[in-house]
Structure 1
Amino acid sequence: MTEISDSLRLLYETTLEERENEYVLTLPKGLVEDSSLANDSSYRVALLESASDSRQSKSDRSETIPQVTEPTDEQRIESQGPPVEVGDVRSVTIDTLGDQGDGIAKVERGFIVIVPDTRPGDRVDVEITNVADSVAFAEPVSKAEVR
C-alpha cells in the first residue's frame, strides 16, 4: 500500500496531454474552487501510473484513453461514509475560515472538519465531537500556529 502524505491537497486522475512543445495536466475548475488550492500558487505534482496503465505494454499506451468522469467529493463521501468518528483525535491544518468565522480543515477524501477558535495556518490537534454525512465538527485539543 502506498503511503500518502498529510500535506496532500487533492487527489485526481487525469490524462497527460501534448500541446505544441509542452505537456499539460488539466484540472476542472470546480475541483480547484471547491478545494483548499489557490490560483497562482505553486504545488508539487506526483505522477503515479494507474493500475490499468501498469499492466499495458508501451505499444498499447499510444491508444486513446477513454475519459472517465470523476465522482465529486460529496459522492465519494456518501459512498464510503465519513472518514472520521465521534471521539477521534486528529492533527489538522486549518486551510480557511467559514462564513461563521470557524476554521475549516480537510481530512481524507476532502472531508471537511469545522474547528472553532482557529485561523488559517493553525496546526491543531482536534477531537471530533459531531459527524454528519458531509462535515464533522471538532474542538481543539492543542494548537500550534504555523507561520
Structure 2
Amino acid sequence: MVEVPESLQSLFSATVEKRGETYTLEVPQTEVDHGAISPGETYRIGVLTQRQSSTKTADERTAQEQPAPSERNSGPPTPPVTEGEVRDVTIETVGDQGDGIAKVERGYVVIIPGAQPGDEPTIEIDQVQENVAFASVVDTGPQSL
C-alpha cells in the first residue's frame, strides 16, 4: 500500500499526451475551482502506475483476467460515492477553510463542514464531483457523547 502524505492537495487521473517536443497532463477544471491548484504555480507531481496494463485488448484478456473496474470504461474512474449515500467515515484532517476531510476508497476525498480530526460521523453525500465529494453530518458518532 502506498503511504499518502497529509500534504496531498489533489489526486486525479490523467493521460500523458505528446505535444511537439514536450509531454503534457491535463488537469481537471475542478482542481482549479476548488483551489487545489492555481494556474501558473509549480507543483510536485507523483506518478502511480495502474495495476494492470491498459494496453491489452479485450481479446488478449483471459477468462481469469478480468479488467479492473477503472478499466471497464475508457474514461477516468468514477467516484466511489453517490449523492444521497449514507456512510460512516473518520475525519483525518481539516482543510484550508476549516472543513473536515475524510478519505474513502482509492483516497477519494470527502469534505464535511464542521467536522474535526478524530470525529467518526455518519454522513450523507450531498454533491459528487470527479475528484471530491461534499457531505453533511447526519449523526455525530460516539465522540460527542
TM range (shorter): 0.5 to 0.7
- Is residue 94–residue 104 contact of structure 1 (8 Å, CA) maintained in 2? yes
State the identity %.
19
Per-residue CA deviation, residues 47-98 of structure 1 (Å, 9 max, x unaligned), is: 1221223997xxxxxxxxxx832356xx42229x66744xx4x3413222xx
Residue in structure 2 matching 1:70, options 72, 76, 80: 76
- Is residue 14–residue 25 contact of structure 1 (8 Å, CA) maintained in 2? yes
TM-score for both structures, normalised by structure 1: 0.54
Return 5+ residue gaps in structure 2 as ranges: 57-72, 127-134
Structure 2: distance between partners of 1:37 and 1:82: 29
- Is residue 16–residue 25 contact of structure 1 (8 Å, CA) maintained in 2? yes
Structure 1: distance between partners of 2:43 and 2:8: 10
Residue 112 of structure 1 is matched in structure 2 by: 111
Return 5+ residue gaps in structure 1 as ranges: 57-66, 97-102, 117-123, 142-147
Residue in structure 1 matching 2:124, options 132, 135, 138: 132
TM-score for both structures, normalised by structure 2: 0.55
Judged with a 3 Å threshold, the aligned counterparts in structure 2 of structure 1 residues 133 and 70 are, in CA distance, closer, same or farther, namely: same
- Is residue 32–residue 38 contact of structure 1 (8 Å, CA) maintained in 2? yes
The RMSD of aligned alpha carbons is 3.4
Judged with a 3 Å threshold, the aligned counterparts in structure 2 of structure 1 residues 42 and 94 are, in CA distance, closer, same or farther, namely: same
How many pairs are equivalent? 110
